[in-house]
Amino acid sequence: MNLKTLSYGDYAVFLIYFVIVASYGWWVYKRKHNADATSKDYFLAEGSLTWWAIGASLIASNISAEQFIGTSGSAFKMGLAISTYEWMAAITLVIVAVFFIPVYLKNKIFTMPQFLHQRYNGTVAMVMAIFWLLLYIVVNLMSILYLGALAISGISGLDIHLCIWLLAIFSVIITLGGMKVIGYTDVIQVAVLILGGLMATYLALTLLSEKEGTTGLLNGFKILHSEATDHFHMIFKKDNPNYMDLPGLSVLIGGMWITNLNYWGCNQYITQRALGANLKTARGGILFAAFLKLLMPVIVVLPGIAAYLLYQKGMFHQEMMSSSGVLDPNKAYPSLLNLLPSGLKGLSFAALTAAIVASLAGKANSIATIFTLDIYKKAINPAADDKKLVNLGKWSVVVAMVLGILLSELIGKALMGEGKQGFQYIQEYTGFVSPGIFAMFILGFFWKKATSNAAMFATVGGFIMSCFFKLLPRFADLSFLSPYGFSKLALQDDKVTQLYEIPFLDRMGFVFIICIVGMYIISKIDGARGIKTNGLEIDASMFKTSRAFTAGALIVTGIVVALYSIFW
C-alpha cells in the first residue's frame, strides 16, 4: 500500500480550507479596499489590524515549512532542545513589545531601511535594503518553498516541482491583496495550523501508547519521556553530538539572544505586522504571539521526538530514507502525517499548507515593501504616486516568487536535502548577517552618538567577520579551544585531520561583540572629527506598560523559566 496518497475525503477537507481562505480573503479585500488607498495602507494595513489579527499574523508568518518540517526534523535528531528557538522567542517578543515597537511608532518608522535612513543615512539604508532583499529571497523564500514542497510531495505523492509551483501561485494570490488580506486570512491559517498540528501530535502519542499495550494521550507522553530520555534535555553538554547546533548555555546567555532579537525586532518581515497599529494594539498583538509561541513545541517538536521513537521501534523506515538511502530527518513530519486516517490527514495537510502559504505571503509582501518604498521610491523614481507604487509592489511579489522558485529548483536539494537539517541551514546562514544588523540597530536605538560610518562597519564588517570565523578552522589549528567546547571535525580529501569548528551561535556572539566595540571606537573617532548624528526621539515614558500587559509578560516569563527548570 502506498501511503503517499490523499483520499477523496482528504481532498474534500483541503478544498474546504482553500475555499474558506480564498473567500474570506476576497471579502476582506472588497470590504476594506479603497480605490484611493495609499501605498502604506497596502503594504502595512495602516491602522486596520486588531491585536488578535497582529498576533495571529506574526505566528502565521513565522511558523512555516522550516518549523513543521525543519524543526520536527531537528527534534527527530536532537530532541526537545530545539524548542529553545520557540520558548526563548516568547520572552524576546515581550522585550520587543516593551523596548523596540515604541521607538518605531514614536518616530513613525514603517520599514527597517527607513529606520536606517532616518537614524544614519541613505547609504546605510540602501546597502541594507539590498542586503535584506537578497537574504529574504536566497535564504527564506527558497527554503520555505523547497521544504514546503518536500513535505507536500511526501504526503500527497505529487511531484516536488509541481508542489513548488502550486505553493508559489497560492501565495501570490493572497499576497496581491495587500497586508490587510494577509493579516486577516492569517487568523484562519493559524487556527488551521494549530488544529492540524495538534492532530499530528495526538496521533503520534496515541500510536506510542498503543504499541506499548496502553491507551491515551498522557500514557503516550509518559512512554515518550521514559524511552527517549536523551531527547528531553534543553541544555547540551560539550560531549553531546548536537553541541555544534545548540552549544550549552549559549542558548540562554549567548548567541540565541542575537538570533531572536534580530529576527523579532529588526526584521521587516515580522515587525511589519505591528508598524501600522497604535502602541496598545501592537503590544497586545505581540503579547498574544508570545503566548502562542509557548504552544509551538507541542505542535512541531513533540511529533519529531515521537517520530524518532517510532522509528526506533521499526516504523516508517523506508519513508524516512532519501532517494540515495540516507536517513533524512526532514521526512519525520510527513512520514507521521501519512499515518493519519482519511479526513484528518486532509486537515493536517491543510494545516501544513496554511503554514507554508502564510509565511510565503508575508515574506513576499515584505520584499515588495522594501523594494518599492525603500529602493524604487528613494533611488529610482521619487516622484512615483501611490497607484504606481502599489502596482509595482504587486509585480515585485511575482518576480520575487519566480526567483524563489528558480533557486529552490536549482540549489534547494543541495543545501537542504539528503539528510540535512533544513532548519539549521536557515539559522546558520541568516546568522552571517544577524550580529552586524542587531549591533547597528541596538546602538542606533539607545546611543545617539553612533555614526553612519560605524553602522557601515557593522553591516559589511559583521558579514566579513562571520565568514572569517566560519573559514578560520580550515586554515588555523584551533585545538587549544577544545576545552571551551569547540567541536572537532573529521577530515578532508581522505586525510584525517583535526579541525575545530566554532558553533555558529557562539560565532554570532563573537561577531556581535566585535561589531559593538568597533562601532563604539569608530563613533568616538567620528565625534572627535565633528561628524554629527541623527538621534531618534526617545523618552522614558515610551517604555511604560499597562498592568494587563505587565501581568501577561510576567506569566510568559514564568512559564519559560518553569519549562527550562523541568527539562534542563
Q: How far apart are CA 416 and CA 73, in angstroms?
A: 11
Given a cut of 70, whether residue 419 has pLDDT beyond it is no
**What integer pLDDT is reported at residue 516 of this predicted model?**
95
Which range is least confidently modeled, 180-184, 407-411, 502-506, 526-530?
Answer: 180-184
C-alpha–C-alpha distance, residues 459 and 303, integer Å:
38
- DSSP bridge partners of 488: 500
Most confidently predicted of 1-5, 178-182, 249-253 = 249-253
Q: What is the mean pLDDT of residues 388-404?
A: 84
pLDDT band of 2, cuts 50, 70, 90: very low
| Whether the predicted pLDDT of 485 surpasses 60 | no
Query: Which has the minimum average pLDDT: 25-34, 158-167, 209-218, 462-471?
Result: 25-34
Residue 92: is its pLDDT beyond 60? yes
What integer pLDDT is reported at residue 551 of this predicted model?
94
DSSP element (H, E) containing 498: strand 495-501
- Strand segments, DSSP code E, in 252-389 are none
Quote the CA–CA distance of 262 and 147 in Å, as a whole number.
23
pLDDT at residue 227 in the model: 87
- Listed by start position, the domains of the chain span 55-113+142-355+408-417, 432-538
Q: What is the pLDDT of residues 231-245, one digit of tens each?
A: 888 888 877 878 877
> In the structure grid, which three cell numbers stand for residue 296, read together?
509551538
Q: Which of 62-66, 119-123, 138-142, 407-411 has the highest mean pLDDT?
A: 119-123
Which of 72-86, 128-142, 385-399 has the highest average model confidence (pLDDT)? Answer: 72-86
Handedness of CA 11, 12, 16, 17 (dihedral sign): negative
Looking at residue 555, what is its pLDDT? 95
User: Is the separation of the CB atoms in 80 and 312 below 8 Å?
Assistant: no
Look at 121-135, 163-177, 538-552 and tell me which has the smallest mean pLDDT: 163-177
- The amino acid that residue 271 corresponds to is T
User: What would the pLDDT profile of 196-225 be if each residue is shown by its tens digit?
Assistant: 778 878 888 888 888 777 777 888 888 888
Pair 490, 235: CB distance under 8 Å: no
Q: Which of 53, 54, 78 is nearest to 427 (CA)?
A: 78
Average of per-residue pLDDT values in the chain:
79
- State the average pLDDT over residues 39-67: 67
The pLDDT of residue 306 is above 90: no
Phi, psi (rounded to 5 degrees) for 213: 80, 15
Please compute the mean of the pLDDT values over residues 516-529 and round it to a whole number.
93
Residue 460 CB contacts under 8 Å (≥ 6 apart), including other chains: 127, 436
Higher pLDDT, 419 or 74: 74
pLDDT score recorded for residue 90: 94
Q: What gap in Å lies between CA 111 and CA 99, rounded to an integer?
A: 17
Q: What percent of the chain has pLDDT over 70?
A: 81
Residue 3: per-residue pLDDT: 45
Q: What is the pLDDT of residue 522?
A: 94
The larger pLDDT score, comparing residue 162 to residue 148, is at 162
Instruction: Please give the torsion angle defined by the CA atoms of residues 450, 456, 457 and 461, in that order, rounded to the nearest 10 degrees.
Output: 150
- Mean pLDDT over 414-419 rounds to 52
* Averaged pLDDT for residues 79-96: 91
pLDDT band of 126, cuts 50, 70, 90: confident
Residue 416 predicted with pLDDT over 60? no
Say what the pLDDT of residue 140 is: 77
d(CA 249, CA 254): 7
Which range (53-62, 256-265, 279-288) has the least confidence?
53-62
Highest averaged pLDDT of the listed ranges 142-156, 419-433, 544-558: 544-558
Between 512 and 3, the higher pLDDT residue: 512
Choose between 138 and 551: higher pLDDT.
Answer: 551
Alpha helices in 332-421 (DSSP H): 332-337, 344-369, 386-416
* Dist CA 138 CA 481 (whole Å): 33
pLDDT of residue 47: 54
Please, which pLDDT band fits residue 497 given cuts at 50, 70 and 90? very low
pLDDT at site 492: 45
Amino acid 520: pLDDT = 94
Distance CA 75, CA 505 (A): 18
Percent of the chain with pLDDT over 90: 12
Predicted confidence at residue 273, as pLDDT, reads: 66
Q: Which three cell numbers stand for residue 129?
A: 535594503
What is the distance of C-alpha 152 from the center of its chain? 19
Mean pLDDT confidence for 558-562: 93
Return all residues near 317 (Cβ < 8 A) that are at least 6 apart: 311
Q: What is the pLDDT of residue 451?
A: 92
Query: What confidence score (pLDDT) does residue 351 get?
Result: 73
Query: What's the pLDDT score for residue 46?
Result: 52
Q: Residue 557's pLDDT is what? A: 94
Query: Global pTM?
Result: 0.79
Which one has a higher pLDDT value, 281 or 534?
281
pLDDT greater at residue 416 or residue 93: 93
Q: What is the pLDDT averaged over residues 527-555?
A: 87
Distance of CA 285 to the CA centre of its chain: 17
Query: Residue 412 — very low, low, confident or very high, per pLDDT cuts 50/70/90?
Result: low
Residue 527: which of 456, 454, 457, 442 has the closest Cα?
Answer: 454
pLDDT given at position 489: 46
**Which residue would you say has higher pLDDT here, 492 or 285?**
285
Average pLDDT over residues 13-35: 71
Which residues sit opposite 499 in a β-bridge?
A: 489
Predicted local confidence at residue 477, as pLDDT = 55
Residue the block writes with cell 531537528: 74
Query: Could you tell me the CATH superfamily of domain 55-113+142-355+408-417?
Result: Sodium/glucose cotransporter (1.20.1730.10)
Which residues, other chains included, contact 234 with Cβ-Cβ below 8 Å and sequence gap of 6+? 80, 81, 83, 84, 251, 563, 564, 567, 568
